[in-house]
Amino acid sequence: MEQSNNLKQAKHLVVISLDAFSEDNWGEAKKLPNFSRLIENGAFSNQLKSVFPTHTYVAHTTIVTGVYPEKHGIHHNNQFQPFVPEKEQTWHWHQRDIKVPTIYDLARQKGLKTAALLWPVSGKSSIHYNLPEVAAIKNENQALKVIKNGSPLFVAGLELRLGKKRKGIKQPYLDDYITLCAMDTIRRKKPNLLLLHLLDLDSAKHNHGTSSEEVREALDRTDRRIGEIFQSVKEANIMDSTAFFVVGDHGQFDIHYAVHINNLLRDRGLICEEKGERKWRAYLQSAGGSAYLHLRDDDPEAEEIALSCLREAMKEEKYGIEHIYNRRELDNLQAVRHIKYAIEAKKGYIFKDTLTEFTVDNYLAKGIKNGNHGYSPNKSNYRCNFIASGCNIKGNLPLGSLEMVDIAPTMARVLGLDFYPRDGRVLEEMMK
């Protein structure tokens, strides 16, 4: 696979993933100085369709591979760990979990320098300069885990130069620090491909709801960070040869009810306790706005009971089950292939794994303002935003409807590379 010399190309591409940057933020973003600069001078869409389920790690893996989850294999943020509290669960932190090559693999093979900061599923990857998104669980040390799974000398250098400016891992301090790291990396390393993941907006929606003042403040901070990244590119003297992508990975909806969905299976005897240990014949792994039904092999009775249980529950509004997907429907969603059934929540509902005394938690009654995601990407008013600007990108160009699988092959084309076989297309119309 050779670099395409006949194609216009940038020497540098900065990809900024804004977690939960979705169509409901578009009007506000267009009013802000750095977002508006990107939009006016670039190609854009607020109709970027994500993947199923609309989870951060699933979508980000599609962004860098150009294929749907059925091929890349990342089906959830977390690995399947029944009964393990969420804060103690292992996530899909490592590139080894991805079943296909990535854009950063290709860039490295072609002699380009790659860098990533908090990019999901990038631990122990081929990225030259990598500060991966990993989290310490149980008794692990966070700093050591980052060094072990990233690029040790690069991570250590960032810590020596910038560590004193870090104020903690909560927002907005985390994104402020990671932006400083991105600026330092651009100035010192001048990577040909930089992948940056910012989470401030997602946190604001989760914690305060999708239309809160905190969300507007997070957008303001994000706009400021984009401006700071522009400035670092200028200081590195690479602005004329740099292209920028800003991409959202999923939307969020306001949540009114949380349903502890495994209670239903427990009540039908599919989850039980034997000698102090929990056992399952069927188990629902929540993805927020959806959930996978896991079934024990060679247990058709459990499958029949579980489906009967869910069909009955679907008739009751309080459980918030909008649809039960079969395998044919999951194929249409290009979902991972080892799951036979999944359930979809109605807007305003989420599913939770945990077994509790009560099944439905009424957030409205408690005055809890909360947003969440994980629904089908086909839900209305749930698309993401995409902006491309800079070197060899046309200006003021609406792109219309896009697919998340289109991003990776378009990244490759911007850098003058031919991508691996993929499900998406190159967005040729935005190239000069």
CATH number at residue 346: 3.30.1360
Q: Which of 341, 369, 397 is the last residue of a domain?
A: 369
Span 408-425, average pLDDT: 96
The residue behind tokens 């946190």 is 203
The residue behind tokens 């149980």 is 138
Instruction: Assign residue 45 the CATH number of its domain.
Output: 3.40.720.10
Residue 4 inside a domain? The answer is no
Q: What is the dihedral of CA 196, 201, 202, 207, to 10 degrees?
A: 150
Residues 411 and 283 in one domain: no
CA distance 12 to 138: 39
Residues 210 and 290 in one domain: no
Span 331-336, average pLDDT: 97
Six token digits for residue 183: 């600026």
Span 354-362, average pLDDT: 96
Residue 120 inside a domain? The answer is yes
CA distance 426 to 255: 36
Write b or e for each residue in 323-332: b if 16 or more Cβ atoms lie within 10 A of its Cβ, otherwise e. ebbeeebbee
Residues 389 and 355 in one domain: no
Which pLDDT does position 206 carry in this prediction? Answer: 98
For the cut 70, the answer to whether the pLDDT of residue 332 exceeds it is: yes
Chain segment 33-51, per-residue pLDDT in tens: 999 999 999 999 999 999 9
Span 373-388, average pLDDT: 98
Residues 319 and 181 in one domain: no
What is the domain range of residue 178?
12-251+379-430
Residues 271 and 188 in one domain: no
Residue at 164: amino acid letter: K
Six token digits for residue 386: 């995409």
One-character DSSP codes across 18-66: ETT-BGGGHHHHTTSHHHHHHHHTEEEEEEEE--SS--HHHHHHHHHH-
Residues 238 and 302 in one domain: no
Span 114-142, average pLDDT: 96
Quick one: what percent of the chain has pLDDT higher than 70? 98
Which pLDDT does position 5 carry in this prediction? Answer: 43
One-character DSSP codes across 374-421: -S-TTSTT--EEEEEEETTB-SSEE--SEEGGGHHHHHHHHTT-PPPS
Residues 38 and 69 in one domain: yes
Asked if 372 and 253 count as a contact pair (C-beta separation under 8 A), the reply is yes
Q: Please tell me the total count of domains within the chain.
A: 2
Which pLDDT does position 8 carry in this prediction? Answer: 64
Give the residues across from 349 on adjacent strands: 257
Report the largest interatomic distance among the alpha carbons of the chain, rounded to a whole angstrom.
68
Span 388-413, average pLDDT: 97
Which pLDDT does position 3 carry in this prediction? Answer: 42
- Average pLDDT of the chain is 96
Which pLDDT does position 352 carry in this prediction? Answer: 97
Q: Which of 369, 390, 416 is the last residue of a domain?
A: 369
Residues 389 and 301 in one domain: no
Chain segment 179-232, per-residue pLDDT in tens: 999 999 999 999 999 999 999 999 999 999 999 999 999 999 999 999 999 999
Residue 5 inside a domain? The answer is no
Residues 359 and 385 in one domain: no
